[in-house]
Structure 1
Amino acid sequence: MRDGSAAVVSAKVLIPHVNSLARERVDSLLNRIWQYRVGLVVAPAGSGKSTLLAGFAAAADVPVAWYRAESWDAKTVTLLDHLRSAFAAALGPIPDAWDSVETAAHALEPWGGRRALLVIDDLHTLEDSPAELTLERLIDYAPPGITFLIGSRALPGFNLSRLRVSGSLLEIGSEDLRFRSWEVERLFRDFYREPLPPEELAELARRTEGWAAGLQLFHLATSGKSALERRRILTALGSRSRLTREYLTRNVLDQLPAELRWFLVRTCVMTRLTGSICDAFLDRSGSQQLLQELERRQIFTTATDDRGGYRYHEVLRSHLEQVLMEELGEIQARTAYRRAGSLLEQSGALPEAVQAYSRGEDWEAVDRLLNHQGGELLEGPGTWIDALPPALLRQDPWLMLGSARRHRAEGRWREAIEAYQRAEHVFGSSDAGLICASERKSLAGWLEPAPMPGNDWAGLLRKAV
């Protein structure tokens, strides 16, 4: 054994066996890899990266070398020893003594095949290490018939702009891996063999935002349970689910530097974040850089626009809210929500402000915004309605309309019609009341047979089908 080398761990160079739902949409993206030198799959923990890579590697009709990186592989010699072992398993006997990028590239040159694939999973564990720099050089030096496919929770420190400009980089991100609503339906119907009602599917897709681990954790928690118990677990998903909390604590929060963890927990009271709002809320500076770092690390942080706006994944944010409550206590947490609501209102983020005020139980502020900005609030996303108490939902006509639209979007059409009717009754003959009546009648056309479809969008669609 050479000085500084380490024993190769055989399990790290074997393609893992996976059993998963075939997703043609994602597979078609990855099948384009042969047009590129490097494929990069970057997404947060639990997004299905390893499953995707393992499934692709197992089905490939070319030789595949597999290597799963770990943090103690940071030395160049350790990386090269594992890569040599991986290539030997895929290509057959190759020269030993891979003590540099040059000797590794030279050892691969005699291979006479047309195409081969090297898959490297968990590259983020080698961040800022000599091994990461070595891999970047190997991409440049290896024979052109070798394609590199990399999975990571964060963008590597490669010169990615050069790869992009040269057309050598295929990028697949968290949005590509997110389960769409019809994929969630197929997952539970065809793979788990436990189909869910349409309204539960819609709520599960919304609460998890298609996060693969969240869907699997929900399945594990509900398998064999009654419909009532399944519904209770669905309602608690993200905030009180033990499995979700354990997963996010171990795989996300515990791996962060203290400053980033503190920032995440303290700012979870806001569903819309910018550097300036976070600076004002925390009475500090540098928040924009921290938000950018969270996005770079793929810590469930997504840019919402090109003006510096961000949001946290809803499952993570719900978990962080529970952590905040445990660390600050109920009274201080409520104060934090109210302060966040004020800052969000000042910035014009009204739906987000209503949600923060509601979490802080500042009902006077909620009532003020609804009375003066009800119509404008309904133009934004409807998730803030979840934060309101049921009694308030039954009293305010704007909330009734928002609730009706929410039911409609999630497939609960009869509940939507009932909410529309309640809102109509309170709005009366005002413009808002006429809007309620029009939307209710369009929806009712799908549920109640009519002698002749109307000429609105619903009626025209009924004629077509």
Structure 2
Amino acid sequence: MASESADDATERRWAPDAVVLETKLTPARVRAEHVSRGQLLAALGTGDARKLTLVAAPPGFGKSTLLAEWAALPGGPAFAWLSLDENDNDPGRFFTYVAAALRRVVPGLGERGLAALRSPGADLVDVVLPHFLNDLAGLDRDLVLVIEDYHVITNPEVHRALAYLIERSPGVLRVVLSTREDPPLPLGRLRARGDLAEIRAGDLRFSDEEARAFLTRALGLELSIDDVRRLQERAEGWPAALYLAALSLRGRPDPSAVIDRYAGDDRYLVDYLTTEVLARQTPELRTFLLRTSILQRFCGALCDALTGRDDSAARLVELEGANLLLVPLDTKREWYRYHHLFGDLLRHELAATERVELPELHRRAGAWFRDAGLIVDAARHSIAAGDVAAVAELVSRHYGTFVDHGQLATVIGWLEAIPEHVAAEDWLLGFAAAIVCAHAGRLDDAERWLRLAEGAPPVTRNGQEPAGPLAAVAGYLRLLRGDLGASVALERRALAAAAAADPTWALAPQMVLAPGLWWTGGAVEARAIYEAIARTAHPAGISAAVVFSLGNRAAIALDDGDEPAAESLAREATELMQTAALDDHPWAAMAHIVHGTLLGRRGELRSAVEEIEHGIALGERLRAWQLIAHGSLALAEVRQRQHEPAAARRLLARVRDILGSLPDPGDGLARLERTEKALRLRGTRDRDATAAPFWELSQREIEVLRLLPSRLSQREIAAELYVSFNTIRTHTRVIFSKLGVTSRAEAVARARELGLL
């Protein structure tokens, strides 16, 4: 990894647990005793044109060894490697590690995708992955991405995003999944298109010749041809069973007699052989194996913490040398895991023989991972130990890191393990949970956690009193709910409680307060707060907040009719966006909207539409109704300049629907009416609220509508369109309903307002 040091520093910015990256990104090692699988390697090589290769079989069939041997072949494609565990069910975490694997082979790949992944509300398919696909399309060499143990992934969003990546991947990328079971991906569609290569358990079973070579030449057992044949019959070519059999036979004076005792199918055989292997170890080593089996990966110091020993590192080296199903995970021989099948069986034995020790073992593991800064593993073991207090402390201390990295699902999973009565005693936990749920769009959950926090004892936590933070998150939730008056009041309260010594703490409430003030008649104060945001954020290196400030100040300048000031501020925001790779950050939404508005007023209408629509899309990621409404009004102006009054009307109707659903949208409705007046597109205020939108008129209804201004009667219209009189009567009633009118004359007038005539 020394040669990767610069890239490692980059990866540490992207992943909360970056220290474990090497153990997840290092290919499995081909052991000296392996048997080369020539036919399977040839099959893998002939699948170069396939987008996906699926290697699916139960544990112990040599999937990792086969892929490692393929990756080690000279002259082949470049290989990126990722080993998964249950913690990777967070979509943000999963694709952070996918990116890290790819970047080990192609440094710098996916920089914009990673930046988008870390921004709030970024959808993997719509926002993040297109950046990766664009970068991959620019490569001039083939790349294989191996993802091991995909069966641990259960999150539908990960499956959806990976399917998108596979189906749209350029020809240079080939994805290889190693799994115990078929994943919920579009395998049928890929198979039909010729984009799927498959290697199954039947392909991975040893042939008689391979079994003979493995047992006698690779493992050095002195077995007769008949002994090998009987073992192969019982194991049915399952490599793990043969390996365990070899371990149990090692040093036996009469292996034939031992083989006679092997019976049953391959699963019972492996259970029996594992018991045999464990029985042959010393009690001390057996205890070591069982207690460390709770760990997905381990090093000497971690094993010491679990077992109370001080020589675990040396013990691990001995175990590897004895070929006791230990898999090294890094080039330094510091981190290891047990072979998956062996680990499963060890954990089963541990639960059967030392169940009472399990909580304490998990508690020790959780404490070690916490002190090592490996927070995801710390939380997993704390939950397994039933140590709710430890989980709550991890959430309280580290939630911000996971929010910043877009790994909300991870923290939400931890929250599900915490009973409400615990949160009712810890305001900081409730505050953290409310922030996480709000960012995930789970506003009801966020408000529930906030209520618990507000009822908790008001003790100082991490140097903070609860009043300021709780008011800040409450104000943010009121902003998302569209209650600007309440939001402004709460954020004022939060700022009054903010510690003067820490101006960066004030950024969050300021960024909520300023938009609320702007839309409630306080534009002058809002401008001053936006300026304060920039003064604090710039020296702190928070470029996204600076762009946020510039974009909103530009919007206020436009409101004031000062286009030169708006132009200058928007240009500064755009330059910073490009320099800091923030073009797709949601906090850049208003800068895009203002820039687009200015382009439209200069007559660059197509570019204006692209900019404003991009800003609206960023606002939708934040679920920010204010941005969406402001952007839609700006876009309506451009559509009117493009002589598309119907499109402008639809945008204005959307804004009216948004604002009409909110408890206090400030001066939003006044802004809508000013835009309608300026565009001469004033709409009917009292249309039937249950009416269908006018843009849902069918083609036949539009044909009828175009004849309504004529002198033709309904019967004459029916004759003109070759339909019955009753059909025309039905169409007319539907048209009236959709336009919110009650007469033919009103329908004609309304249709002309909407640009439909």
Give me the TM-score of the superposition, normalised by structure 2.
0.31
Higher-helix-fraction structure = 2
Asked which structure has the greater RCO (Cα within 8 Å, sep 6+), the reply is 1
